[in-house]
Amino acid sequence: MNSTARPGSSIVRQLTSTPEFLPFTLLTVLVVTFAALTPNFLSQGNLSNLLAFTPELGMIALGMTVLMTSGEFDLSVGSVFGFTPVLMWTLFNEGIMPLELAMVIGLIVAVGIGFVNGWFVTRLRIPSFLVTLGMMMTVRGVALYTTSGFPQRTWRAESWLMDLVVGDFYVGGFRLYASLFWFIGFALVLGYIMTQSKFGNWIQAAGGNPIAARARGVRVSVTKTWLFMLTSFLAAYAGITSSIRVSAANPNSGTGYELEVIAMVVIGGTALAGGRGTILGTVLGVLMLRMMRNGIVLIGVPGLAYNIFIGVTILTMMALQAYLARRHPMGGG
């Protein structure tokens, strides 16, 4: 009898010890709870709106996941999110260059910001918290100073680029945006890199034990610099996506996003200290927090209470993850 019980017990142990188990379970509970409390939650209109907002923060969260897995994080993503579209639309509105080229320049500048962050962290050995905090204030300040705090208009543009980035269409009554498929594409690519590639092993080794990783030939500094650049690129692309969708490039856009994104990544199962990351978990964390924000408003809870729910969720998830780690110290993660 014992021998027949062992396989099932082993499966349960493996399932509960994976970092995606908790976010998936909580996401399921949230969907069932909000669907029971308000019938509008699962309506086509509400789900369409939910999926319209999700990719923007989701793309930033994907970049933050790989960066945090390497043992670093970036507080400047919200500023890059707001600055890049301001730069892009300023270049276009002033007649300096076509919209397509302006977008390329904006993304290149964002990648340059990531490179500077990576250089300060890896070459000057300054903690990423301090480097990216300073970059956050600098980039936000430039965006506000150059625009005097006023948003850039976007309605004059007529370009295939806008349809490519956020073109909308209907599938079975659901209004979907192209940005959702960009988000899915980025997630699939990064998920493959993290789990199936040599570079993914480098990322986890750099975050788990950088000294041992260097001894084994991992180029830790180069790896982390590339990840800072990738994170800034995804934040910039998300900002451009948002500006096209809402028809405005506001220099204050993205304020506070850095902490919300870190919350999504941590809730998804990525270790804050580095060495373990999960793209699937991050996708679940993004969906969870977006559904939570949407659901509490639908059931009549004041939107200002959202941070309370997020804080309680983070503490609960951390406690449960610590509990499962103690019960299954040898489990996968």
pLDDT digits (tens, 9 = 90+) for 108-164: 999 999 999 999 999 999 999 999 999 999 999 999 999 988 888 876 667 788 888
pLDDT of residue 233 exceeding 90: yes
* CATH number for position 219: 1.10.3470
Is residue 226 a part of any domain in this protein?
A: yes
With 0.85 as the threshold, say if the pTM is over it. yes
pLDDT digits (tens, 9 = 90+) for 247-306: 889 999 999 899 899 989 998 989 888 888 999 999 999 999 999 888 888 888 776 777
Rounded mean pLDDT of 227-248? 94
Length of the chain in terms of residues written: 333
Least confident of 105-119, 226-240, 316-330: 316-330
178 lies in a domain? yes
SS (H, E, C) 47-60: HHHHHHHHHHHHHH
> CB under 8 Å to 184, separation ≥6 — which residues?
none
Quick one: pLDDT at residue 12? Answer: 64
What's the total number of domains in the chain?
A: 1
Which residue range is the domain that position 105 belongs to?
27-327
Got the DSSP string for 90-159?
HHHHTTSS-HHHHHHHHHHHHHHHHHHHHHHHHHS---HHHHHHHHHHHHHHHHHHHHTTPPEE-TT---
What is the model's pLDDT at position 329? 56
Assign residue 170 a region (left: φ > 0; alpha: ψ between -120 and 50; beta: otherwise). beta
Decide if 3 is inside a domain: no
249: three-class secondary structure by DSSP = strand
Q: Output the pLDDT for position 8.
A: 56
Q: Which amino acid is at 249?
A: A
Within a domain: 333: no
CA dihedral 134, 137, 139, 145 (to 10 degrees): -140
In a domain, 11, yes or no: no
Residue 262 forms part of a structural domain: yes
User: 207 and 66 in contact (C-beta within 8 Å)?
Assistant: no
pLDDT at site 299? 85
* 3 half-sphere exposure, CB direction, 13 A CA radius: 0
